[in-house]
Amino acid sequence: MKIIMLGAPGAGKGTQAKMIAEKFAIPHISTGDIFRANIKNNTPLGQEAKKYMDEGKLVPDELTVKILLDRVAQDDCKNGYVLDGFPRTIPQAEVLDQELTKLNDQIDYAIDVDVPDENIVKRMSGRRACLTCGATYHIEHIPPKQEGICDKCGSELVQRDDDKEETVLNRLKVYHDQTQPLIDYYTKKNILKTVDGTVDMKDVFAAITAILE
Ligand code: AP5
Ligand code: MG
Ligand code: ZN
């Protein structure tokens, strides 16, 4: 099963994608997580991506597409995957479709986690992330067992550099300009499914599971 997660920054794509990956035993592939891991390790890719991410802009398509296509070509992706944060532009979606068509394959579902802008800024200010394993928490809604420490791997939790309010507002603008057109794109392909992302994360997951099963 090949799934794409759509939704504004902070809608809960990552939270849901991790649960889907676990339940269906497929890899969770987040381009944002890949970039953040590269920034953490100070690789050339990380240095390049950071320039854009810190301002809430998109990393250029050429760079992002190459990374994603390399990742989905790996062996663990044979039985499917859940993409979180890719595609984010129409050209990215077109390249992915072209590559899949070559393999006689296609995306099964594009799931839009719908959360209005008003809710987003508040969510982001409470988010804490583990840069080691990619786990995400929220200081009010989804707190770690021990403050500041990742439940899964014991690393220190941090606030993401791009979760400052002004950067979040920029990311929302970029989302509406460049990513929201994908809703139409996948509606036309008859694979778009929308779920309400404002309810409890378990209820969001139940709605997604009902679609996938
Ligand atoms: P990326 O890492 O993908 O960030 P994003 O899309 O802005 O999304 P987030 O990770 O911020 O939010 P999310 O939807 O995953 O929400 P989460 O589950 O964490 O990208 C970062 C940057 O990388 C981009 O700005 C860009 O520069 C670059 N980039 C990445 N991919 C790219 C691409 N394809 N092309 C070009 N550039 C690219 O949840 C958010 C918070 O809410 C958490 O605290 C969570 O605990 C909480 N929460 C989740 N669900 C609920 C719920 N139901 N109720 C209450 N709280 C909840
Ligand atoms: Mg995410
Ligand atoms: Zn961790």
137: β partners? 128
Judge whether 36 counts as a catalytic residue. no
Active site residue: 13, 18, 71, 128, which one? Answer: 13
**Gap between the Cα atoms of 87 and 84, Å rounded:** 8
C-beta separation of 13 from 5 below 8 A: yes
Strands of 81-84's sheet, edge to edge? 28-30, 81-84, 2-6, 109-114, 192-196
d(CA 32, CA 36): 6
User: Residue 122 has what pLDDT?
Assistant: 85
For the chain, give the mean pLDDT: 95
Q: What tens digit of pLDDT does each residue of 178-211 get? A: 999 999 999 999 999 999 999 999 999 999 999 9
* 160 is an active site residue: yes
Condensed to tens digits (0 to 9), the pLDDT of residues 20-56 reads 999 999 999 999 999 999 999 999 999 999 999 999 9
What CATH number does the domain containing 69 carry?
Answer: 3.40.50.300
Could you read off the pLDDT of 108-128 as tens digits, one per residue? Answer: 999 999 999 989 988 898 999
Which of 36, 71, 127, 128 is flagged as catalytic?
127
Q: Whole-prediction pTM value?
A: 0.93
* Whether the CB of 142 sits within 6 Å of ligand 1: yes
Structural domain harbouring 205: 2-212
Q: Which atom of ligand 1 is nearest to the CA of 128?
A: 44
Paired with 149 in beta bridges are: 156
134 C-beta closer than 6 A to ligand 1: no
Number of domains, the chain: 1
